[in-house]
Amino acid sequence: MPVLLKELNEAQREAVQYRGGPLLVLAGAGSGKTRVVTYRIAHLLARGEAKPWNILAVTFTNKAAREMKERVWTLLGRSEPELWVSTFHSMCARILRGHAHLVNYPREFSILDQGDQQSLARECCREMNLDTERFPVGLLLQHISNAKQAFLSPQQYRVSWEGDYFKEKVAGLYEKYQQRLKKASAMDFDDLLFWVLTLFLEHPQVLDFYSGRWTHVLVDEFQDTNQIQYRIVKALAEKHRQICAVGDDDQSIYSWRGADPKNILRFDEDFPEVKVIRLEQNYRSTSNIIEAASSLIRQNLMRRGKQLWTANEPGDPVCVYMAEDEREEARFVAAEIRHLVLREGFRPSDFAVFYRTHAQSRALEEEFLDSRILFAIYGAVGFYERREIKDVLAYLRALVYPHDDLSWKRILNVPKRGIGPKTLKAAEALAAREEIPLSKALELAAHELPKKAGLNLREFLRLMENLKEKLQEQGVAGALRGILEQSGYLYELQTSSDPTSGQREENLEELLNIAAEYEAEEGGDPVGFLERVALFTDLDLKDPGEDKVSLMTLHSAKGLEFPVVFLVGLEEGILPHRSSLKDPEALEEERRLCYVGMTRARKKLYLCCAKKRRVWGVFQSLAVSRFLSELPRENLEALMPEPGWPTEGRSHLAGQGSPLKGRWVRHAVFGVGTVIAVEGGGSRLLVHFPGVGEKRFLTEEAPLQWL
DNA sequence: CAGAGACTCGAGGAG
DNA sequence: CGAGTCTCTG
């Protein structure tokens, strides 16, 4: 370990070695934040100051958790399964598996995703005769989520908003929604945190157990904690006060999810003896990128103030490109990627394209398909949110959790087997009357129902019994295969005329792979598998070995880095997003979002905007983002200067050399290309066409259209 | 009960 | 414009 400390700079080393109590590490982008956390853990273990089970490290994404775990193991030279490195949500799920009965839940509770939440809430609204025109379900759920994040029970919420018509409706739904969740033994994401904090407050002995065990607590991305997360961490750390929080207020981009950057300030109050260490040297990016990003973030008024710097080379200037519309923007990105791959030895996996909203991915997707660039989109319609995946997982959940009414309901008539709304209604009525789970009610109803319906139902229940056996005998992967084959699900897909059915089949195959992988790693426990599936996102499915261009939102980009980054849609209304234009605080968050995107780039950064783009099928003209004009021009280069560029005078933007260089041309046969050299005093042009190669033309008579 | 076609609404972001 | 939901008909 002493050898390893040499790999750290002074501030990092101090953060690793400090043992005087609460520690707050303010770490700029690319300053070795993860390094500090992993080395600190390894250091504690290597020096025998803590045993693996004494350490809790919390992150926000599964990917970060996994990476951190692996890096610690590498440092130690051995794996250490007793070490808890997990996300807030999986930590809470794990704690609750052990103590759920104390908050009146069975050990086999299921975890709902957003889609499940919506349908449950919609059902509640219908039962309450709530006018969903005036009270959209999404909005109501948002308020419920906020309430949970503020740790308010339905009753407390009702009391605190007495007299507010809208909030009273929310309170009504909140109450009903929680009842339904409990009846189905289900929790949503917020509940995982809510019930853990409840557990800690109502059963101090449980808190004692965990806070006694974890003598060292580390929290990554501290700026993204919300109130309830902060309270959980605080409760866990109060006994030993060896808490190390690492964060960057400039990268706080989750206020809409309840994240409160003020937690960083509150930390000083709750732990007045806190020691603050700043990490300001960036090791990731070229100085052009760092200077541009720093200038941008300096425009924010609400920040703790940190001067990010780098000793790295200047590198290429940040490249700015203004496109006609979103399709041309996508074409530029694709052409540039091909160019860099063909001429400069980059690989597809070196590239990432970031956008503000998912909807922007479409144009890129289409263009990449056309130009045969391999790519992977993260987050759009998540893998685990696909209908076929949810259907099949609902079978598994129904097998594992007999009280999971929602899953039973979902699979009852999928694929179609003649168990329609009438049968369901009868069973639901029975379940409500007898206060039993739906699955139980179905069993009873199977004997009472008239011929055909009863027959169908009995057959379905027999199927489920068979599958249950299969699960016990063969584990998760075997059960999933059984579900696909015996339920007729696979058959229906294979014989369907739906053009997407091939893709769906592939997705199911992938699910089987995931299950097989899980079995190999952790054994066949279906509860663990379902938990993983509920808490993982498709960002966690990203396979680093795959040589593909990554497409994702700016929000999911946090924590990642790529040699080449394209940031698209730098327009007023897109980035900054239109919903933030009137609110100075929200606008600063948009700026941080842009900052996060820029600082992901190691070598090359491209900022793109379009003069017009299609919104709901209609063209809209948008002004260039203010963020572009906040960047220092000495770090920029415009690939194609355009009239209307926001900075006055644009000669500086053309860069050195010929004004023709870098310009875009279209050739009738070769397509769109870039002028890469001007030769013979301007008489000849060397043009690169993606996928074609380089072609020389006489400038005067070149059959080229200037773009 | 199932499938086709009309209709509506959405796209701000995630565990 | 496109996905998901609703309604109508066979």
What's the pLDDT score for residue A380? 65
pLDDT band at A706 (very low <50, low <70, confident <90, very high): low
Spanning CA of A219 to C1' of B10, the rounded length in angstroms is: 37
- pLDDT tens-digit series, residues A484-540: 999 988 888 887 777 777 888 888 998 999 899 899 988 888 988 998 888 887 767
Higher pLDDT, A660 or A486: A486
Q: Which pair of tokens denotes residue A80?
A: 């250490």
Residue A650, pLDDT > 60, answer no
Choice between A572 and A138, residue whose per-residue pLDDT is larger: A572
Q: How many CB atoms lie within 10 A of CB A586?
A: 16
Residue A499 CB in 7 A reach of strand C? no
In this complex, the answer to whether residue A165 has its CB under 7 A from any atom of chain C, a nucleic strand, is no
The DSSP call for residue A657 is S
**Ranges assigned E (strand) in A268-373:** 275-279, 281-282, 309-310, 318-323, 351-355
User: In the predicted model, is pLDDT for residue A649 greater than 70?
Assistant: no
Q: What percent of chain A has pLDDT over 90?
A: 52
Please tell me whether the peptide bond between A576 and the residue prior to it is cis, using omega within 30 degrees of 0: yes
pLDDT at A446: 86
- From residues 526-585 of A, list those within 7 angstroms of strand C by Cβ: none
| Spatial CA neighbour of A216 closest among A95, A307, A83, A309 | A83
Q: Which of the nucleotides in strand C have any atom less than 7 Å away from a protein CB atom?
A: 1, 4
CB-CB contact of A97 with A66 (8 Å):
no
pLDDT at A309: 96
Report, as an integer, the average pLDDT of A474-491: 91
pLDDT band at residue A655 using 50, 70 and 90 as cut-offs: very low
Residue A3 has pLDDT above 70, yes or no: no
Active site residue A220: yes
pLDDT tier, A605 (very low <50, low <70, confident <90, very high otherwise) = very high
**Residue A415 preceded by cis peptide, ω within 30:** yes
Catalytic residue among A113, A116, A175, A221: A221
Chain A 574-593 contacts with nucleic strand B (CB below 7 A): 577, 579-580, 586, 589-590
Nucleotide nearest the Cα atom of A617 (by C1'): C1
Helices (H), A261-325: 262-270, 287-297
- Tell me the HSE value of A97 on the side-chain side, using a 13 A CA sphere: 11
Split at pLDDT 50, 70, 90, the class of A664 is low
pLDDT in tens, A205-232: 999 999 999 999 999 999 999 999 999 9
**What is the pLDDT, as a whole number, of residue A640?**
56
Distance A171 CA to C5 C1' (A): 27
The full DSSP string for A243-271 is EEEEE-GGG---GGGTB-THHHHHHHHHS
pLDDT at A320 over 90: yes
Name the DSSP class of A179.
Answer: H
A:43-62 Cβ neighbours of strand B under 7 Å: 60-62
Residue A257 has pLDDT above 80, yes or no: yes
- pLDDT tens, A31-42? 999 999 999 999
Asked whether strand B has any atom less than 7 Å from the CB of A683, the reply is: no
Tokens standing for A328?
A: 């041309």
Res A643: pLDDT: 39
Query: In this predicted structure, what is the pLDDT of residue A299?
Result: 93
More confident residue, A645 or A26: A26
Which CB contacts under 8 angstroms, 24+ apart, belong to A174-181? A174/A143, A174/A144, A174/A147, A176/A124, A176/A127, A176/A128, A177/A120, A177/A121, A177/A124, A177/A144, A178/A154, A180/A120, A180/A123, A180/A124, A181/A112, A181/A120
Among the options A12, A59, A87, A251, which is catalytic? A251
How far is Cα A285 from Cα A294, in angstroms, rounded to an integer? Answer: 12
Q: Is the pLDDT of residue A109 over 70?
A: yes
The pLDDT assigned to A103 comes to 96
Contact between A596 and A560 under an 8 Å Cβ cutoff? The reply is no
pLDDT at A188 over 70: yes
pLDDT band with cut points at 50, 70 and 90 for residue A340: very high
- The answer to whether residue A286 is catalytic is no
Q: Which is more confident, A59 or A381?
A: A59
On the question of pLDDT at A329 being above 90, the answer is yes
The whole-chain average pLDDT of chain A stands at: 87
A361: which nucleotide lies closest, measuring CA to C1'? B11
Secondary element (H or E) of residue A87: strand A84-87
Whether CB of A667 is under 7 Å from strand B: the answer is no
End-to-end CA distance of chain A: 58
The per-residue pLDDT for A348 is 95
